Amino acid sequence: MVSTQTQIAGFSFDNCLMNAAGVACMTIEELEKVKQSAAGTFVTKTATLQARAGNPEPRYQDVPLGSINSMGLPNHGLDYYLDYLLDLQKIEPDRTFFLSLVGLSPEETHTLLKKVQDSDFKGLTELNLSCPNVPGKPQIAYDFEMTDKILSDVFDYFTKPLGIKLPPYFDIVHFDQAAAIFNKFPLCFVNCVNSIGNGLYVEDESVVIRPKNGFGGIGGAYIKPTALANVHAFYQRLNPTIQIIGTGGVLTGRDAFEHILCGASMVQVGTTLHKEGVGSFERITEELKVMMAEKGYESIEDFRGKLNHLN
Ligand code: DHB
pLDDT tens, position by position, 239-265: 999 999 999 999 999 999 999 999 999
Secondary structure (DSSP) of 101-142: E--SSHHHHHHHHHHHHHS---SEEEEE-----STT---GGG
pLDDT of residue 214: 98
For residue 205, pLDDT beyond 90: yes
Of the listed 25, 131, 188, 192, which one is catalytic?
Answer: 131
Q: Tell me, yes or no, whether 304 lies in a domain.
A: no
Tell me which of 75, 131, 193 to substitute to probe ligand 1's pocket, judged by most ligand atoms within 8 Å of the beta carbon.
Answer: 131
Ligand 1 atom with the shortest distance to the CA of 195: 4
Average pLDDT over residues 207-231: 99
Binding-site residue numbers for substrate are 45, 69-73, 128, 194-195
Instruction: Return the SS3 of 99.
Output: strand
Q: Tell me, yes or no, whether 305 lies in a domain.
A: no
Using CA atoms, how far apart are residues 307 and 175, in angstroms rounded to an integer? 18
Q: Tell me, yes or no, whether 62 lies in a domain.
A: yes
Is 262 considered catalytic here? no
Share of the chain above pLDDT 90, in %: 97
pLDDT of residue 233: 99
Q: Is the CB of 162 under 6 A from ligand 1?
A: no
Q: Tell me, yes or no, whether 146 lies in a domain.
A: yes
Mean pLDDT score of the chain, rounded to an integer?
Answer: 98
Ligand 1 atom with the shortest distance to the CA of 70: 10
Using CA atoms, how far apart are residues 162 and 155, in angstroms rounded to an integer? 9
Distance 306 CA to ligand 1 centre (A): 31
Tell me the C-alpha to C-alpha distance, in Å, between residue 229 and each of 77, 208, 242, 249, 273: 33, 28, 17, 12, 22
Q: Tell me, yes or no, whether 311 lies in a domain.
A: no
- Residue 40 and residue 17 in contact, taking contact as beta carbons nearer than 8 Å: yes
Distance 73 CA to ligand 1 centre (A): 5
The 10s digit of each residue's pLDDT in 158-181 is 999 999 999 999 999 999 999 999
Average pLDDT over residues 198-220: 98
- What residue owns the CA closest to ligand 1's atom 7? 131
- What residue owns the CA closest to ligand 1's atom 6? 131
Domain count within the chain: 1
- What residue owns the CA closest to ligand 1's atom 4? 131
The 10s digit of each residue's pLDDT in 103-148 is 999 999 999 999 999 999 999 999 999 998 888 888 999 999 999 9
Whether the CA torsion 232, 197, 151, 174 is positive or negative: it is positive
Q: Is the CB of 195 under 6 A from ligand 1?
A: yes
Q: Tell me, yes or no, whether 306 lies in a domain.
A: no
Instruction: Return the SS3 of 188.
Output: coil
Q: Tell me, yes or no, whether 8 lies in a domain.
A: yes
The 10s digit of each residue's pLDDT in 265-286 is 999 999 999 999 999 999 999 9
Binding-site residue numbers are 45-46, 69-73, 128, 165, 193-195, 220, 248-249, 270-271
pLDDT of residue 138: 87
Q: Is the CB of 123 under 6 A from ligand 1?
A: no
Q: Is the CB of 72 under 6 A from ligand 1?
A: yes
Provide the residue range defining the domain that includes 192.
Answer: 4-299
% helix, strand, coil for the chain, step of 5:
35, 20, 40
Provide the CATH number for the domain around residue 268.
Answer: 3.20.20.70
Tell me which of 73, 142, 166 to substitute to probe ligand 1's pocket, judged by most ligand atoms within 8 Å of the beta carbon.
Answer: 73
pLDDT of residue 137: 83
